[in-house]
Structure 1
Amino acid sequence: MEGLKRYWPLLLLAALLLGGIGWWVNRQAEKAQVEEELAQAQGIVRVLSATFANKAALKVGEVNGTLDVTSVDPGAIPALRSAQKATIPYSVGYTLDLSALGADDYRWDPASRTLVIRVPLVTAEPPNIDEAKRSVHGTSGIFVTRGASTNLARRASQLATAEAGRIAAEPKNLAKAQANAETVVADLAKAPLDAAGLGPVTVRVVTPASGVRDGERWDVSRSIEQVLAERRQAR
């Protein structure tokens, strides 16, 4: 027993040394994992930034139909007042600008292999009024001058444009276009990710308002590089 006590300092030193080596090995493994996650995230950002760089006006939806409008020309005097009923086809496209996406718009969770892409809201284009397919159902007035006819047609176009813009701005139509935009962006992202050899990746697309709904709660104010760099410093 006395002999064993003599070796306790050496045994304690050996235990501390082995523990330190184990801690160092684990530390290096953790750092290597974070470095790999960072490199993977940066690679994803580069691939998708190149893919979306020229997508300044990506078409993601359209609302269309026909509008019945009644235009009125007051005339120089009340007796020359005229009116016209017409049906005019219209269409309004929705676009999404992806050209300004940066590293802070991507969130990568390596554990679940989920990529979250934050995109802006869709915007409605100016309404397109198909004047060539305008159909007139009736014109009223004692005497409709050429100038009055021109005014009636112009007024009908203005009314149709305003109404088409109102329809395009309806929440249900905007929501439908936004949902379609999320599908389009996810499909666009999957092809280059597959080509880059990253393996199976789940892509989710959100807007700034919706944020990250599940999985790891990334801080949306920081980029991928910042989040992973802080992890690296903490380990």
Structure 2
Amino acid sequence: MEGLKRYWPLLLIAAMILGALFWWRAEQAKERRAEEELAQAQGIVRVLSQTFSNRAALKVGEINGTLDVTTVDPGAVPFLRSSQKATVPYSVGYTLDLRDLGADDYRWDPAARTLTIRVPLVAAEAPNIDEANRAVAGTSGLFVTRGASANLARRASQLATAKAGEVAEEPANLARAQANAEKVVADLARAPLETAGLGPVTVRVVTPAAGVRDGERWDVSRSIEQVLADRQR
């Protein structure tokens, strides 16, 4: 018993040394994991920046149909007034500009292997009016001159362009185009990430308004860009 008491300080010191060693190894493991996450984050930003840098007008959808329009040419004098009804085919494409995506638009959750990308809203292109297939349903007027006929056709095109633009901006059409844009971006991102060696990755795409739900990113309060900046200090 006396011998144990004599060596007790040495045993205590040894225990403290072992405890410090285990703590140091645990900290080293945490640091290695942090470095791996950092490398993954840097790889994601690099790969996707290359993928999206030239995507100025990524086509993500289109609507098309026909519009019935009625146009009027007043004529030089009242009795030369004429009108025309026509059916005009149209199409409107939707595009997504990804050139300005930066590190702040990515959230990476290494545990769930989930990448969230914030993209802008889609934009409707200028309507395309198919003049070649415009169908005239009827023309009325005492005397329709060649000039009046040309004016009626031009006004029909202008009216159809305006109406097609309104249709393209309808919330339901914009929502469908945005949903398709999110799918297109996810598909574009997934392939290069897997090719870069990150393995199977779940990709979520959201708009600025949708935000990112807690627990689905690698750092809830900070973006990849902020984390990279902090770790490089």
- TM-score bin (small chain): over 0.9
**C-alpha deviation, 1:219, in angstroms:** 6.3
SS of the residue 1:19 aligns to: helix
8 Å Cα contact 2:61-2:93 kept in structure 1: yes
Q: Which amino acid aligns with 2:163?
A: E
Matches within 5 A, 1:24-43: 24-43=24-43
| Residues 33-82 of structure 1, C-alpha deviations (whole Å, 9 max, x = no match) | 00001101110111111111111100000000001100011122222211
Q: TM-score, normalised by structure 1?
A: 0.92
Does residue 68 of structure 2 align to residue 53 of structure 1? no
Using the alignment, how far apart are the partners of 2:163 and 2:157 within structure 1? 10
Whole-angstrom distance in 2 between the partners of 1:65 and 1:87: 10
Partner of 1:166: 166
Equivalent in the alignment of 1:85: 85
C-alpha contact 1:38 1:229 (8 A) present in aligned 2:
no
Maintained 8 Å contact 1:34/1:228: no
What SS class does the counterpart of residue 101 from structure 1 fall into? coil
Question: 1:7 maps to what in 2?
Answer: 7
Q: Aligned equivalents of 1:221 and 1:100: distance in 2?
A: 22
Matched, 1:135 2:128: no
Aligned length: 232
Asked if structure 2 preserves the Cα contact closer than 8 Å seen for 1:95 and 1:125, the reply is: yes
Name structure 2 gaps, 5 residues minimum: none
Q: 1:7, 1:78 → 2: CA distance?
A: 121
**C-alpha RMSD of matched pairs (Å):** 1.9
Is 1:206 the counterpart of 2:201? The answer is no
Matches within 5 A, 1:148-167: 148-167=148-167
| Preserved CA contact (<8 Å) 1:38 1:225 | no
Change (3 A) 1:160 1:219: farther
**Cα separation, partners in 2 of 1:45 and 1:67, compared to 1, 3 Å:** same
Deviation per CA, 1:146-168: give whole Å up to 9, x if none: 22112111111111001100000
1:13-43, Cα deviation, whole Å (9 max, x unpaired): 1111111111111001101100001101110
Give CA-to-partner distance per residue, 1:116-137, whole Å, 9 cap, x none: 1111110000000011111111
Alignment-derived partner of residue 17 in structure 1: 17
- TM-score, normalised relative to structure 2: 0.93
C-alpha separation in 2, matches of 1:90 and 1:225: 43
Cα distance in 2 between the residues matched to 1:221 and 1:59: 33
Instruction: State the 1:220 CA deviation.
Output: 7.4
**Residue in structure 2 matched with residue 68 of structure 1 by the alignment:** 68
State the percentage of identical aligned residues. Answer: 80
Query: Residue 170 of structure 2 aligns to which amino acid in structure 1?
Result: E
Aligned partner of 2:22: which letter? G
Equivalent residue number for residue 126 of structure 2: 126
SS of corresponding position for 1:197: helix
Q: Give secondary structure in 2 for the equivalent of 1:196.
A: helix
**What is the alpha-carbon distance in structure 1 between the residues aligned to residue 72 and residue 118 of structure 2?**
47
The CA distance in 2 between the partners of 1:34 and 1:228, in whole Å, is: 11
Q: CA deviation at 1:144?
A: 1.5
Aligned partners of 1:118 and 1:206 also within 8 Å: yes
Deviation at 1:106, TM superposition (A): 1.1
Q: Mark the CA change 1:172 to 1:218 in structure 2 (over 3 Å): closer, same or farther.
A: farther
The corresponding residue for 1:182 is 182
- Aligned-pair CA distance for 1:143: 1.5
Structure 1: gaps of 5 or more residues: none
Name the stretch that deviates more: 219-228 or 129-138. 219-228
Q: Deviations over 1:67-102 (max 9, x none)?
A: 110001112222221100001100000000111111
